[in-house]
Structures are given as C-alpha cells and as structure tokens.
Amino acid sequence: MFWYGFVGWCTAQLHLYMGFYSRYQGAKRWISWSVICLLWPLTLPLFVDFVSQRDAGGDSHD
C-alpha cells in the first residue's frame, strides 16, 4: 500500500511539474491531482508517452 501511494504521489507531482494542472484552480486542481495519484497505473504510461512524443517533436513511431 505504501508503494502504491508513493508512486501515485510521484506521478501526480510529475504532472504538476510539467504544468498539466495550469488550467485548474482551487478544488478542481486538487481533484485532478487526486485522480492522477489514485489512477497512476493508467496515467504514468500516458505521461511517459506524452513526454517521449514531445521530445521526438511530435513524430509518430508507428
């Protein structure tokens, strides 16, 4: 349980650092952060894919 929470917190903080929450204020920001923290098995691979596409210049690897 500790590791699930820790990885979720780290994933949510990565999203915060990259500016994913910039459009949200107040409670919406905390709700978004909480959802990303709890659903990190889904959001972490999406984040990695986003960063890899951004670093590649948006080119598709397919």
Burial of 40 (0-12, 13-18, 19+ CB in 10 A): buried
Assess if residue 32 is contained within a domain: yes
Task: Tell me which H or E stretch contains 37.
Answer: helix 27-38
C-alpha torsion sign, points 30, 15, 49, 54: positive
Contact at 8 Å (CB) between 11 and 37?
yes
Residue 57 lies in a domain: no
In the prediction, which pLDDT does 59 show?
A: 57
The answer to whether residue 52 is domain-embedded is no
Calpha distance 56→17 (Å, rounded): 20
Inside any domain, residue 60:
no
In a domain, 56, yes or no: no
Query: Residue 22: inside a domain, yes or no?
Result: yes
Q: How many domains would you assign to the chain?
A: 1
- Asked if the structure places residue 55 within a domain, the reply is no
The verdict on residue 50 lying in a domain is no
What residues make up the domain containing 15? 2-43
Ordered per-residue pLDDT tens for the chain, 62 residues:
899 999 999 988 888 888 888 888 889 988 988 998 899 899 888 888 888 888 877 555 55
pTM, rounded to two decimals? 0.67
